[in-house]
Amino acid sequence: MQEIQKSISEIEDMLAEVLCMIWKIDKDNISGRIRAVWGSNIDEASMSAPNLKTTEDVCYIQVTPEDDAYNRQRHIRYVHTGGRNMISVDEHTDVHTVLFVNYGTNAYDYARRIRDGLFRDDIRRFLRLNHFPLVLNVPAPRRVPELVNGNWVNRVDVSATFNQYVRLVGSVGTIRQVGVRVAASSGDVREFNTNKKGVRE
């Protein structure tokens, strides 16, 4: 059984691909159009603090894991894989808030297209296949102009919540043999071992 778990960088890369699908741009040539906050490999040349022209259309992706009652529930089971081997399977849901921060002259238009695009059938199917479904309660875009390098830059944010399915797999040790010591009321003591099937040896 395979583990299913994505790192923050992998989530950011996946969401960059989602934006390419929504905006209909080539995912192999985004050239700084889609960037991540520190710690991602979407565009390694663009990992530092924003350095923008006032008219430059750029979207930053920020993924924040959330503490939620839903992600505290875990389903742990044990699976027998033959012989004496067993594995533990821990299945749970991680909750993430994703902030799409859009800068530039067309920031509002791009933000609105993100919000609308997340509800498209092809996008929702892509997210489900990547074990990262959207929580459908997506707020309206929020306009928050920002002062960058002494100039006002148009900024519009879109926030969305996603539930990430996680499966962790680990090996479990099993008891091969148990030593048993039996004392009779007369004081006689007998020792023997039982194997896994409970047969005396």
pLDDT digits (tens, 9 = 90+) for 75-94: 888 887 777 778 888 899 99
pLDDT score of 101 more than 90: yes
Give the integer Cα–Cα distance in Å for 139 and 161: 10
CA distances from 188 to 42, 63, 183 (A): 74, 68, 6
Please list, in sequence order, all residues whose beta carbon lies within 8 angstroms of the beta carbon of residue 146, skipping any fewer than 6 positions away.
103, 152, 153, 155
- Could you tell me if 25 and 33 are in contact, meaning their C-beta atoms sit under 8 angstroms apart? yes
Proportion of the chain above pLDDT 90, given as a percent: 45
Of all residues in the chain, what percent carry a pLDDT higher than 70?
80
Question: What pLDDT score was predicted for residue 35?
Answer: 86
- Looking at residue 187, its pLDDT comes to 63
pLDDT at residue 115 greater than cutoff 90: yes
pLDDT digits (tens, 9 = 90+) for 33-57: 888 876 444 544 444 445 666 678 8
